[in-house]
Amino acid sequence: GIDKNALIVLGDQRIDVTYKRLGKALQSTDKTKFERLDATLNDITKQQVPVVEKWEQEGRRRMRASEVRQYVESLKTVDTTTQMMDAFKKEVPAVWKAMVGERDAVLARNLNALPSQLHTVVAVMGLGHIRGVQKILQGKGWRAVSIY
């Protein structure tokens, strides 16, 4: 961006605000909901990365470096991230709101506030925020383009 003399905007919520809201959300969330979330996330992981179940059946506690890379790359997909975000939202909604929902709104608001004379906007954000930010911006008249 700097080489192209582009306007660079750090558009996320301040981290201290996120931490404060997350702390309150964690305190007010029933701890048994985290157990359900953990079970759901494990199910999603086994579904998306079938080799995990094989490792469990073999009683393996350690993965080789190549297996760790395979595991991480398998989790970094739109489908997996969407399923995991949906699970967070369902099981621990206050935590999801503090970690994702509020930040989606801030990111979208800051993108929408960019000067209208900009013809091209490139936004970089975590995969878990794309769907929420896109939905908010489309509601404000933005059009979607390929993002992956």
Note the pLDDT tens digit of each residue in 22-39: 999 999 999 999 999 999
Higher confidence at residue 66 or residue 102?
102
Interatomic CA distance for residues 67 and 137, integer angstroms: 38
Report the chain's mean pLDDT, rounded to a whole number: 90
**What pTM did the predictor assign?**
0.84
Q: Is the pLDDT at 147 greater than 80, yes or no?
A: no
Digit-coded pLDDT (tens) for 123-137: 899 999 999 999 999
Q: Assess contact for 24 and 98: CB atoms under 8 A.
A: yes
